[in-house]
Amino acid sequence: MSIAGAAACADFTKICPLVSRRTNPGYGGEQTRSVRVKRVEFGAGRPVIIGGPCSVESVEATLELAHAVKAVGGDMLRGGAYKPRTSPHDFQGLGLEGLQILREASLQTGLPIVTEVMDPRLVEQVGSYADMLQIGSRNMQNYPLLTEVGRFGKPVLLKRGMAASLCEWLGAAEYMAKEGNLDIVLCERGIKAYPSGEYSRFILDLNVIPALQRETFLPVIVDPSHATGVASMVEPASRSALESGCHGLIIEIASERPGAACPKCDAAQAISPTTLGRIVEFASSHARERMEGKACATA
């Protein structure tokens, strides 16, 4: 792709031949690789909705939110046991205890789990609890971590670095593909660009979705929670992301029960389970309309 006035684009076929659409003609012009996490499938038509708390904070809160995700029709549970925090003095997550809580929530609800791994030395530990390993924005270019996670072999959610170009992002995916793991789902989570931080946490880059789909066959989902940082922006951002063709959403929620504890991390961007339910409903009807549209076009 070349854009007048823009810097020359990298040659993806050389930087990331294993994940580039051009060097894998089996995927054709539009086909997406479907990535399976237990019974959930990314890139298979119906958008995947992942919901849950920013961090796992207690058994009670996590179970309540997991059951809420299930009740509104969500597909997977998110929640950080190891949290990348700006200050080392802030809550860092419950670690192994958090992973055990996630396992219990998954057993009770049947929802597969995605959770972040930050340390190459902990890939085995986190990977034995997670159904999908998340590489966070801050670690997108942590190459030893990418290599370990690639070797581990479980499906991966690869978040975009907050200042990463498309080329750097796909280069990160290539590190895991090189280890034999192509079960990678990309996640746009907002980038730092002027005026991020003024009225929203980051800038949600929806343009990257069609650009990615041109360059790679890997599915892509959107995180409207971290991209906006503002609860009231999450629902419209989710709708826009689905309209832009993403294969799913990952969304932070908090309890709407009176008296529930305020989340320790990212409270301002957490939406209620009721709002999550509306997003699930929108995603389902949007997918139905697209299928019907395709059927009409071919009739």
List of residues contacting ligand PEP (CB under 6 A): 54, 80, 84, 116, 136-138, 159, 189, 223, 226
Among 35, 40, 54, 241, interactor with Mn ion by CB under 5 A: 54
DSSP-H helix ranges across 76-140: 96-109, 123-129
Q: Hey, is 30 helix, strand or coil?
A: coil
Single out the residue of 212, 206, 213, 244 nearest to residue 47, CA to CA.
244
Query: Is 116 near Mn ion (CB under 5 A)?
Result: no
How far apart are CB 53 and Mn ion at their closest, in Å?
A: 8
In sequence order, which residues have a C-beta less than 8 Å from that of residue 91 and are 6 or more positions away? 55, 57, 83, 85, 264, 265
Per CB under 5 A, does 187 bind Mn ion? no
266 binds Mn ion (CB under 5 A): yes
Torsion of CA 279, 105, 100, 118, to 10 degrees: -10
Residue sitting closest to ligand PEP (CB): 136
- The minimum distance between CB 146 and Mn ion, in angstroms, equals 21
Stretch that binds Mn ion, among 49-57, 84-92, 112-120, 187-195 (CB under 5 A): 49-57
- What's the closest the beta carbon of residue 190 comes to ligand PEP, in angstroms? 8
Taking the C-alpha atoms of residue 57 and residue 77, their distance in angstroms, rounded to an integer, is: 14
Instruction: To the nearest 10°, report the CA torsion of 223, 226, 228, 229.
Output: 140
Minimum CB separation of residue 42 from ligand PEP in Å reads 16
Residues in contact with Mn ion, total (CB under 5 A)?
2
Choose among ligand PEP, Mn ion, none what residue 189 binds, the Cβ cut-off being 5 to 8 Å by kind: ligand PEP
Q: Which does 56 bind (CB under 5 to 8 A by kind): ligand PEP, Mn ion, none?
A: none
Taking the least distance from each CB to ligand PEP, the nearer of 20 and 134 is 134
Nearest CA-CA partner of 111 in 164, 74, 148: 74
